[in-house]
Amino acid sequence: MDQKLFDLVYESVVKREPTYEGVYYTGVRTTKIVCRPTCRARTPHATNVTFYHSLEAALRAGFRPCKRCKPEANGALRPDAALAAQVDAMIEDRYNEKLTLATLAASLAISPYHLQRIYKQVTGHSPAEQTERVRLKHAQRRLLESDATIAEIGMSVGYNGPSHFTTWFGRRMGISPTEYRNGARGVDSYDSQ
């Protein structure tokens, strides 16, 4: 976004004018909260603001919807999709931790059952599958782009113990991490689904 447009949108935020309601969302980087441009909360400093074209983009970047202006309500993005985007952001952020359905659900203050059902409805797969996809993506990149050992890479994507990592990687790709690093492509079992 160029400075001129930024100034224009920011001015509407300062004045709480609805001009850009539904067009831009105000991400406040200091609080990691995303608002409607008309939010009644204290006006954030321009230097702390990033405008997003969609609420989903802001949620994927790790922002949480403001409890006051509720940008997820009555918008183009249904609450279910907003929830799924929040889960994706959390997984992208914490994929190297022991990330269970219960952990994710607790962070969102909803029941694990509810989370599993809604997430699957929106994305077609479970949060556990998404966690594995993200882990696989990072493992692949590190195998090709870093000099880290197999054990280190396994650890960096949440697998303690190289044999556990190698077994998992092999099941997903049909080849070992070392073979992948040496140029074999394998078949990503997620892409081929």
Nearer to Zn ion, 64 or 133 (CB): 64
Nearer to Zn ion, 18 or 161 (CB): 18
| Closest distance of CB 6 from Zn ion, Å | 19
| Closest distance of CB 35 from Zn ion, Å | 3
Q: The tokens of 120 are what?
A: 């699957």
Please identify the residue of the shown chain whose CB is closest to the bound Zn ion.
66
Task: Point out which residues bind Zn ion (CB under 5 A).
Answer: 35, 39, 41, 66, 68-69
Compute the distance between CA of residue 85 and CA of residue 176 in angstroms, rounded to an integer.
32
Count of CB atoms situated within 10 Å of the CB of 3? 8
Nearer to Zn ion, 35 or 173 (CB): 35
Q: Where are the beta strands (DSSP E) in the chain?
A: 25-28, 33-35, 49-52, 64-65
Nearer to Zn ion, 69 or 136 (CB): 69
Side-chain half-sphere exposure of 83, counting CA atoms within 13 A:
22
| Closest distance of CB 183 from Zn ion, Å | 50
Nearer to Zn ion, 35 or 115 (CB): 35
| Closest distance of CB 40 from Zn ion, Å | 7
| Closest distance of CB 33 from Zn ion, Å | 7
81-85 contact pairs (CB < 8 A, 24+): 81/56, 81/122, 82/55, 82/56, 83/108, 83/110, 83/115, 83/118, 83/119, 83/122, 84/118, 84/119, 84/122, 84/123, 85/55, 85/56, 85/59, 85/60
Nearer to Zn ion, 73 or 106 (CB): 73
| Closest distance of CB 108 from Zn ion, Å | 19
Compute the distance between CA of residue 142 and CA of residue 157 in angstroms, rounded to an integer.
10
Compute the distance between CA of residue 73 and CA of residue 157 in angstroms, rounded to an integer.
35
